[in-house]
Each structure stands twice: as C-alpha cells, then as structure tokens.
Amino acid sequence: MWFPGEAAIALGGPQPELNQLAPEFTLLGNDGEGEIQEFSLQDYRGQWVVLYFYPQDFTPGCTLEARRFQQDLPKYLERNVQVLGVSVDDVDSHEAFCDAEGLKFPLLADSTGDVSKQYGSYLTGYSLRHTYLIDPEGILRKIYLGVNPAIHSQEVLTDLDSLMANSSAQLPPMG
C-alpha cells in the first residue's frame, strides 16, 4: 500500500544506518552568538547531538521548528545536548535568521547539499525536514522522517530522556 508521505521521504536518498557511526562533516555556520565558524560533528564527542535538517530559513514551518528548539534550549543544555540546525541556506541567511528569531544554537550552511545528501535529506536544492539523534560516541541512535515542526522538539526531548536512561551516557549533575 502506498502512502503519500513515504514517496517524498524516500526521495531524500538512503538513510545512514542506525547504531553505526553517524556521517562526519565540517560546515561553516552561525554559532547563535553572531560569529561565523567551522563546526564538525567530531567536536561534539562526549555529548548528545540533535542534528536537524530543514528546508529554508524564514519559511513558516522552519521558523516554527527553530522557535520550538530555541524555547526548549535550556532543557537541552541541562542534558548536555547540542542542537545543530542544517539547511542549504548560506551563512548570511543563517545569521539574519538567528538575529530575527533570537536563536542561540548553531545553524550550519550546507550550501552544496553534500551533508544533506550524506544523511539522505536532500531533494531538488533543499534539505528535507529530518532529524538525527547522535550519542556521545558519535553513533546514530534515532532517525525522524516526516517531522511535525510544532511538536518535534518535545518529541526529541522525550526520546533523548529514554535513550539516555538506557545508555552509558548519564545526565550531568544538576546544580
């Protein structure tokens, strides 16, 4: 049986394998504090990473999703989790988007689409709305396809709590 959402998801390309090393990357991005720098996945060893791909800065769904991640950012930081947004927009667009929306987490510029393609999240010039949870050892633990921007951040937090409870990566001490 065919479902409309499945065709679009499949067109993004093959997904990386769960429980294997997540594809490495280095991209330029806005750090959320107005600085442009290089970001590499390997820089986040020792902490969980929420790597979320989205189609375009300043569009309604992408803005809603970014706002939700920003709203929940203190909860991610309490858990020692890094949120990284990725789209094919350039660093100037990301800087303007961060400024306009008050985003304090990095947005990475995948201008060539190469990283989006590595993650099976690229279609006709845009990144698809997919999210990947990567553990402190760099292992891909969860893939989200067909994300609902309004509730996605809460869904990710719930899943992170479950994954963290079942792994050797413990929550940092509170206080």
Give the pLDDT of residue 13: 86
Give the pLDDT of residue 12: 81
Give the pLDDT of residue 3: 39
pTM of the model: 0.89
Q: Would you say 25 and 115 are in contact if contact means Cβ atoms under 8 Å apart?
A: yes
Give the pLDDT of residue 166: 86
**Minimal CA–CA distance to 154: which of 84, 50, 31, 58?**
50
Give the pLDDT of residue 171: 45
Task: Tell me how far apart the alpha carbons of residues 156 and 168 are, in angstroms, rounded to a whole number.
Answer: 19
Q: Which residues are known to be catalytic?
A: 62
Task: Tell me how far apart the alpha carbons of residues 66 and 22 are, in angstroms, rounded to a whole number.
Answer: 22
**What does each of the 175 residues of the chain score in pLDDT, given as a tens digit?**
333 444 444 568 889 999 999 999 999 999 888 889 999 999 999 999 999 999 999 999 999 999 999 999 999 999 999 999 999 999 999 999 999 999 999 999 999 999 999 999 999 899 999 999 999 999 999 999 989 999 999 999 999 999 999 875 444 444 4
